[in-house]
């Protein structure tokens, strides 16, 4: 298996999973020019990171697709509930919500020029990010899904690392901070995060 990654990008969640699952995988860091090449577009239509190549050579693009696919290696259901578990639907909802709504709001915050008038786009994106944070804060348990830490919490952690106003976002949201701290404290996560600066 092979992962096309970029430091500090959406490949972080995949790297965390690979580390937690103890899977051997070649990690490749294409340059910006390589990501624009026809060869790369053939495996990732928009030239985006992450892209995963399975052992039989099939490319999988979109972080959510890669996360869900890698769960087949999670035989102990340590990273997500089993599909027949009552909380599996909640897991799917939350990780999809993060991968679509929160991820896209953060992209708009960081690349407002792609979407319109920069100040307006950024302000709206930040407001949308905080709506999602409020939804997290309103959940009844300490984790996104039931009483179990899942890769959905890890996905939230990744997105939070991109929030330039993290302390402000944590203010009045103790659960959001607790989920972040809990993921951040795991040795596997620390190992992956520390190599993002290499």
Out of 29, 47, 53, 135, which residue is the one contacting ligand GSH (CB under 6 A)? 47
Could you say which of 69, 107, 121, 139 contacts ligand GSH (CB under 6 A)?
107
Residue 12 Cα distances to 5, 123, 189, angstroms: 8, 26, 9
How far is 35 from 112, CA to CA, in rounded Å? 21
Which of 99, 192 has the CB closer to ligand GSH? 99
Write the CB contacts of 148 (distance below 8 Å, at least 6 apart in sequence): 81, 87
Two structure tokens written together for 126? 């930040």
CA–CA gap between residue 32 and residue 195 (Å, rounded): 19
| Position 108 contacts ligand GSH (CB under 6 A) | no
Only segment of 43-51, 77-85, 88-96, 123-131 that touches ligand GSH (CB under 6 A): 43-51
Tokens 């103790």: give the residue: 174
Question: In this complex, which beta carbon is closest to ligand GSH, that of residue 47 or of residue 59?
Answer: 47
Candidate list 52, 103, 133, 170; residue touching ligand GSH; CB under 6 A: 103
| Subset of residues 113 to 152 that bind ligand GSH, contact rule: CB under 6 A | none
> Rg of the chain's alpha carbons, rounded to an integer?
17
> For ligand GSH, which is the closer residue by CB, 6 or 73?
6
Per CB under 6 A, residues contacting ligand GSH are: 9-10, 47-50, 62-64, 99, 103, 107
């Amino acid at each position: 298996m092979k992962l096309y990654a970029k430091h500090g990008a959406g490949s972080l969640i995949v790297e965390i999973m690979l580390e937690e699952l103890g899977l051997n995988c070649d990690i490749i860091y294409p340059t910006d020019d390589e990501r624009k090449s026809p060869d790369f577009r053939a495996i990732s239509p928009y030239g985006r990171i992450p892209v995963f190549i399975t052992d039989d050579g099939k490319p999988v693009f979109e972080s959510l697709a890669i996360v869900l696919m890698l769960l087949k290696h999670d035989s102990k259901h340590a990273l997500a509930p089993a599909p027949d578990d009552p909380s599996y639907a909640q897991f799917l909802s939350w990780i999809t919500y993060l991968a679509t709504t929160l991820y896209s709001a953060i992209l708009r915050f960081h690349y407002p020029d792609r979407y319109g008038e920069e100040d307006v786009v950024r302000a709206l994106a930040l407001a949308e990010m905080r709506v999602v944070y409020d939804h997290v804060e309103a959940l009844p348990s300490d984790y996104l899904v039931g009483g179990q830490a899942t890769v959905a919490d890890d996905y939230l952690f990744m997105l939070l690392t991109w929030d330039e106003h993290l302390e402000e976002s944590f203010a009045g949201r103790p659960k959001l901070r607790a989920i972040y701290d809990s993921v951040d404290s795991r040795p596997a996560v620390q190992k992956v995060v520390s190599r993002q600066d290499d």
